[in-house]
Every structure is written in C-alpha cells, then in structure tokens.
C-alpha cells in the first residue's frame, strides 16, 4: 500500500470515529476535535505524499494543516467549477481561518508558545492555572459559522477522492 493511500484511509477512519463521538452528547468537545485535527493532518500528509514529498520526513512533523488544508480546499473547488475560485472564494477564505485553528489543536503545535491550548494534554494557562482539555471551550463552531459545514464536507470528499486516486484498481 502506498503512503498517500494509507494516510487518506486513516484520515477517513478518523472522520468516521469523530462522527461516532459526536453522537454522544455527554462527551467533551476535545475528543471529537482531536479526531478532526488528526484527520486533517493525515489528509494533508496524503496530499503531500501524493505530490512527491518524502513520507519519512512527513511522519516526524505535525505543522501542515494551516498551510496545506487551504490548498486542498482550493484545488477541490477548482475541480468543481473547472476554473479558479468563482463566487466560492469565501469558502477558501473560511478554510484558511479554520485550518489555523485546527492546526493549533495539536499538542506539538503551540504557535511559538503563544497558543498552549490543545485537545490532548493539559497545559498551563494564564496566571499559572492548569487547564484540562476536557473542560476547555475551544470555541469551534462549524454548525453556526458560515462555511463550517461546507469545509467538513470537503474534507470528507477529499479523503474519499484520494483513496480512490491512490487505490491500485484506480491505476
């Protein structure tokens, strides 16, 4: 199995797991956000591997989502319309904002120390308080912000497309 295919399949598995978590009203948001961050990171790695980047280099790194996810979205939009962004430019712009937030959910990405919050490990907040991800409001609102649902749909669609693209029977 190729690395692009493997990353894309795992991204899709992470998204499916996220959906299962969302069915439980009593679970903190950190868990479903963790799976979203992992899915997006793997999707970006699938895209980069497919473009020729060394998989071993990617395996050790985590800071891709902010720069690569918008590119993935832009390419997906271009495939849809057959041309550069049309009146869907706002989707691309929204994806840049979300991508930045999603990347910072990873514990290894701290925004140079300015963003210690992450969806996995406790961190030291203002005034030295220890903050627990399970009790933290990450202020993600895909349901009530413009473009949130569209972005999530695109993420799933791209995962499926990359799986199809890199599957042996597709070649």
Partner 1 sequence: MDRSKDAVMKRLINAHFDIEPDIDLIVELVGADEHGRDESIKLLEVNRSTTTDGIRPIHFGADAAHDIPFPSIIVEVTPAEFARVKSEELALPEGWQLGRQFHRPAMAQGIKS
Asked if residue 12 binds partner 1 (CB under 8 A), the reply is no
Is residue 50 within 8 Å of 44, Cβ to Cβ?
no
Q: Which of 32, 37, 95, 118 binds partner 1 (CB under 8 A)?
A: 32
According to the binding rule CB under 8 A, does residue 27 interact with partner 1? yes
Q: Which listed residue (1, 56, 121, 144) binds partner 1 by CB under 8 A?
A: 144
**HSE of 148 in the Cβ direction (CA atoms, 13 Å)?**
11
Q: Which is nearer to partner 1, 23 or 127 (CB)?
A: 23
Phi, psi at 123, each rounded to 5°: -145, 170
Task: Locate all alpha helices (DSSP H) within the chain, ordered by sequence.
Answer: 3-22, 29-50, 55-59, 65-81, 89-103, 148-166
The rounded distance, in Å, linking the Cα atoms of 98 and 70 is 9
The answer to whether 142 contacts partner 1 (rule: CB under 8 A) is yes
Binding residues among 67-126 for partner 1 as defined by CB under 8 A:
76-77, 80, 87-88, 90-91
Q: In this chain, which stretch among 1-9, 22-30, 45-53, 117-125 interacts with partner 1, using CB under 8 A?
A: 22-30
One residue of 71, 150, 165, 167 binding partner 1 per CB under 8 A: 150
Binding site for partner 1 (CB under 8 A): 18-19, 21-25, 27, 29, 32, 76-77, 80, 87-88, 90-91, 137, 141-146, 149-150, 152-154, 156-157
């Amino acid at each position: 199995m190729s690395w692009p295919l493997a990353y894309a399949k795992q991204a899709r598995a992470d998204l499916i797991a996220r959906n299962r978590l969302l069915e439980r009203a009593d679970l903190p948001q950190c868990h479903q956000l963790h799976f979203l961050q992992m899915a997006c990171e793997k999707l970006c790695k699938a895209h980069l591997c497919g473009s020729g980047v060394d998989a071993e280099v990617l395996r050790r790194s985590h800071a891709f989502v902010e720069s690569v996810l918008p590119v993935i979205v832009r390419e997906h939009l271009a495939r849809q319309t057959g041309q550069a962004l049309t009146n869907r430019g706002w989707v691309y712009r929204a994806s840049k904002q979300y991508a930045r937030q999603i990347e910072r959910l990873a514990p290894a990405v701290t925004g140079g120390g300015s963003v210690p919050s992450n969806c996995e490990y406790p961190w030291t907040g203002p005034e030295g308080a220890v903050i627990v991800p399970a009790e933290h409001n990450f202020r993600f609102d895909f349901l009530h912000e413009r473009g949130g649902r569209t972005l999530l749909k695109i993420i799933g669609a791209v995962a499926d497309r990359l799986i199809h693209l890199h599957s042996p029977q597709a070649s």
